[in-house]
Structure 1
């Protein structure tokens, strides 16, 4: 009874956060749903379609290159949207590229003249690869930029009406009433920077819940339609995918009058290369012997945190030269950086050793996204009265397991009082990558001698989801403890970039062990390939344990609470175009109120 009541209470609390109507979000959801169709009907099982045209080896290489490029493009597209063009324009560009790539594949599949088709296919690998490159650029704009743009439409302060959008309370749209109310609120409520920051932190959590709600509903629609698409062939899937995304894109364009657009602003990642450049230009200088030699150094230490030996050279970017005073340093652009910025860069670069452990980790993920689905196509797909078990069921197992695992880890993290998230999650994730390869090898050995059923392949997809849920959630949580507040939102992009490198590593492994991959799947020796993968995954697990222990033994660099609060409030109030205009209005209201009080007392 108590458990039922507690579960009902949690659901009610979640529903109050998630239930939010937005006209803009409805139009965006149409585009998301169409992308969901393409993801589960085409992209997730792309190797099963390309094998007939390119052969097993070339198809696996093409798919891994496609996914690797998509991961590498994510951070590029993210920077373009945040700092240069804005999210809306980048979504337009990437979706146009996505439709173009689908159209190229669709046109290629409709070559009716056998001679022309043979000629295209011979020379044709280039056509397929170009289409996949264009598709990868389009996909990169979906995974992060489209999600961020959807979140921009869902801002609403917690003290406003729960189903009233922020732009509907804009004085320019609703008249002077809302302006008067906001001024009254600023007068009757003491403006406390810490309170403002806490309010918006809670709002960010609510926005994340709303965004996941809209995204999940649209994605489920895509899964349902993708399940029905198994009754059509390769040409039909390409035709449905192209038309679906074009229709979703048209629906997205219809919502332009309702969109809240965030103007591009300088990215905190922009000064990373500048800090490195300045540090290299000062490599001839000696390390500081006095704290006063460092620009805006508020501590008595001559070494900037974190104290990592191989990153000490970055401290030179904050050294004030003999002819330069600290006051002049503020105007001497790109010649010296304050201690806080150098500290942020050192924190970010210190993540590189841990990111490197994800190269081999993503090698297993790339194998699962290719050869695992080929095993599904060669299994006995009858399950009781269900004949022709759709392959999309196996596509769902992996993200579903990953999501459940990640949520469980988050629940435990919220209930614990640990100063930083444990690295054990990443270790366990790497350990399960070894188990996954072992299980997949054993299943393939059995498949070569006998026909396998649905239940034989389920464990390896479950293990991949478990591996991803543990490792990726652990990496994100650890990243948030290492970097400054302004860089925390870039964690998924950096993680995606590191896994993208690992997907290219899969291409190298396929070329090295090319003699095990024949043009026909039945004559290939995937069992030996899976067994060989156990060697690098085991070595990577040992390396991950070593790196994790190294991080654990580093002095924990806590960010000064007052400084973090000040920086957070500054970001909230300064960034007028990011959905925080309310904080700006409240602060101005408080200032005007204070001015009026002073004027009244003077009179």
Structure 2
């Protein structure tokens, strides 16, 4: 009886410690166990969100108007300018694969963000110099037909310095922000689900300011003033991020995360001739009481061949200390997670291709239309992208505060709907966006072909730029409110805990690879259609057939959606052991009862 009382007291004390302290592999800035009340959650996010906000203002302020700068200031043709924009944006979203790996394995998320933000700031300083220093300006005359070589070198060097800084900055900052919420604490886990929604909300507010205020300064004041503003703003937020150091929770780097995956593959191949036991409880796993860090994953029936890596042979004593011969069920399941991410990543690339149109061809489409809203106000073409930002700013709070609570009651799912279902709905809306874009462009081309007589001769009828609002709105809701947030959650949750910065890099690489694929698709379409004498993407937008290109994207999207739904229907989410239950880490539903 006394022993039972002692055990209950011990258990109560443990629960009390878990409520006051954040246990596991997280530490505070002094390397101690963090206090739950004084670190992490939203108090830490107040220092993390502003630096992401400033970086996104810089990015959207540059990327949304970059094609205009390349064509009007540096005098590149539409085809070359479009490819250069896609290459740069692609680099900013592929470099995070390297930065995320270094942050998870060796440097740590906080240090990686700090170092990368300084590299980013250096790129902004160089960009400002290329606009303000007379010897580095694009031209020393009022009218010129080509920018100076020295300007091109410094300009592109500064752009790719920014891309290099983004490589470590973006994946580690977002995973570092999400790490401020404890997965094993119910209330903090719910807050983490909202974190991704509000992260995208801040991103869209930054997009709105970047594509309106910054673009307005670029077009009607000067690019030099705009770059100087962005540089100062970024510098101030880097300082603020450093000031928040005592409030953060830090995850220690855990070494190369790909080594355990390789160990599972090698061990499974070595035991390829063995038969898996019908009872998966016979597979090898370290008891949670003996496990120094990390969470235990539940066994799943997919990819059964890898289970052979956890089969205990007769020479158990020799195998136990050799991870190349015997691995745990958790390591096996982590390997399965990575292998299952690949097809979802591949089918998500079309999202990046569609988003690429918003900062390239959509902008040139707007530039060829009537930009006058009144006799005194004219919209900069790149500012139309602000419509894509406004729709998530409105829809994300509605989704998080109204729709999700209702869906939780209906489905019993803490997220409201599953992650992949949210992404699938987003892809469906992207198909609609491409269809609307094709119809609007068809209408615009018909008006261009119809010449209206004026007193001074003839002029082309121009369509109001406001006709682009529907395609930008649908793109904003489908891409930002649904698909992008879904991808963020998916690549954060559905990878091993030790690879979360890499997971965020994989999410960014979806967008980056999408931009590269967009450039590749433009090259193929230009090559094939150019043989007939009228390329779909010619040097001049009025002689192009962008409507047919948008219809092509809509068809590709539809085929991709069918494949995505096929994979999503058969997908098994990650499940973790928490206090005697196996919890679906994506849906957060109790799926089965297991032994602790």
What is the TM-score normalised by the length of structure 2?
A: 0.69
Match of residue 180 from structure 1: none
- Provide the C-alpha distance between the structure 2 equivalents of 1:429 and 1:25, rounded to a whole number of angstroms: 27
The 8 Å contact of residues 67 and 500 in structure 1, kept in 2 or not, is answered as yes
Match of residue 318 from structure 1: 310
Match of residue 101 from structure 1: 123
Residue 27 of structure 1, CA deviation: 6.9
- Provide the C-alpha distance between the structure 1 equivalents of 2:265 and 2:497, rounded to a whole number of angstroms: 23
Pair 1:264-2:252 in alignment: yes
Pair 1:372-2:362 in alignment: yes
Larger % of strand: which? 2
Write out per-residue CA displacement over residues 113-147 of structure 1, whole angstroms, 9 at most, x where no aligned residue: 85999897569866655443322222344434335
Match of 2:557 among 513, 525, 537: 537
Pair 1:439-2:436 in alignment: yes
Residue 506 of structure 1, CA deviation: 0.9
Match of residue 294 from structure 2: none
Count residues with an aligned counterpart.
497
- Provide the C-alpha distance between the structure 2 equivalents of 1:287 and 1:222, rounded to a whole number of angstroms: 59
Match of 2:478 among 460, 467, 488: 467
The 8 Å contact of residues 79 and 537 in structure 2, kept in 1 or not, is answered as yes
Matched residue SS, 1:516: coil
Q: State how 1:66-465 maps to structure 2 within 5 Å.
A: 66-109=88-131, 110=134, 111=136, 129-147=156-174, 197-198=185-186, 200-201=188-189, 225-226=213-214, 229=217, 230-249=219-238, 255=243, 260=248, 262=250, 264-266=252-254, 269-271=257-259, 273-279=261-267, 281-282=269-270, 285-289=273-277, 294-296=283-285, 305-308=299-302, 311-322=303-314, 324-325=315-316, 327-384=317-374, 387-391=377-381, 393-402=383-392, 404-405=394-395, 408=399, 410-418=404-412, 421=418, 423-448=420-445, 449=448, 450-465=461-476
Matched residue SS, 1:84: helix
The 8 Å contact of residues 86 and 519 in structure 2, kept in 1 or not, is answered as yes
Residue 214 of structure 1, CA deviation: 8.1
1:130–1:330 CA distance, 2 compared to 1 (3 A): farther
Match of residue 35 from structure 2: none
1:279–1:45 CA distance, 2 compared to 1 (3 A): farther
- Provide the C-alpha distance between the structure 1 equivalents of 2:391 and 2:204, rounded to a whole number of angstroms: 15
The 8 Å contact of residues 337 and 494 in structure 2, kept in 1 or not, is answered as yes
The 8 Å contact of residues 33 and 222 in structure 1, kept in 2 or not, is answered as no
1:337–1:118 CA distance, 2 compared to 1 (3 A): farther
Match of residue 504 from structure 1: 516
Residue 271 of structure 1, CA deviation: 4.7
1:417–1:535 CA distance, 2 compared to 1 (3 A): closer
Matched residue SS, 2:306: helix
The 8 Å contact of residues 40 and 392 in structure 1, kept in 2 or not, is answered as no
The 8 Å contact of residues 211 and 385 in structure 2, kept in 1 or not, is answered as no
Residue 387 of structure 1, CA deviation: 1.0
The 8 Å contact of residues 574 and 584 in structure 2, kept in 1 or not, is answered as no
Residue 75 of structure 1, CA deviation: 3.8
The 8 Å contact of residues 362 and 500 in structure 1, kept in 2 or not, is answered as yes
Write out per-residue CA displacement over residues 481-509 of structure 1, whole angstroms, 9 at most, x where no aligned residue: 85667767865443222332222211211
- Provide the C-alpha distance between the structure 2 equivalents of 1:207 and 1:113, rounded to a whole number of angstroms: 42
Match of 1:43 among 54, 63, 70: 63
Residue 540 of structure 1, CA deviation: 1.2
Larger % of helix: which? 1
1:42–1:474 CA distance, 2 compared to 1 (3 A): closer
- Provide the C-alpha distance between the structure 1 equivalents of 2:569 and 2:374, rounded to a whole number of angstroms: 49
- Provide the C-alpha distance between the structure 1 equivalents of 2:441 and 2:207, rounded to a whole number of angstroms: 32
Residue 219 of structure 1, CA deviation: 7.6
The 8 Å contact of residues 296 and 338 in structure 1, kept in 2 or not, is answered as yes
Match of residue 581 from structure 1: none
1:220–1:498 CA distance, 2 compared to 1 (3 A): closer
The 8 Å contact of residues 73 and 137 in structure 1, kept in 2 or not, is answered as yes
Matched residue SS, 2:411: coil
- Provide the C-alpha distance between the structure 1 equivalents of 2:489 and 2:205, rounded to a whole number of angstroms: 26
Residue 443 of structure 1, CA deviation: 1.4
Q: State how 1:520-535 maps to structure 2 within 5 Å.
A: 520-535=540-555
1:547–1:277 CA distance, 2 compared to 1 (3 A): closer
Write out per-residue CA displacement over residues 83-103 of structure 1, whole angstroms, 9 at most, x where no aligned residue: 322334322322232233334
Match of residue 17 from structure 1: none
Match of residue 579 from structure 2: 562
Residue 547 of structure 1, CA deviation: 2.4
Residue 358 of structure 1, CA deviation: 1.0
What is the TM-score normalised by the length of structure 1?
A: 0.68
Structure 1: runs of 5 or more not aligned: 1-19, 158-193, 299-303, 569-603
- Provide the C-alpha distance between the structure 2 equivalents of 1:41 and 1:444, rounded to a whole number of angstroms: 25
The 8 Å contact of residues 116 and 167 in structure 2, kept in 1 or not, is answered as yes
1:245–1:538 CA distance, 2 compared to 1 (3 A): same
- Provide the C-alpha distance between the structure 1 equivalents of 2:575 and 2:116, rounded to a whole number of angstroms: 39
- Provide the C-alpha distance between the structure 2 equivalents of 1:528 and 1:59, rounded to a whole number of angstroms: 20
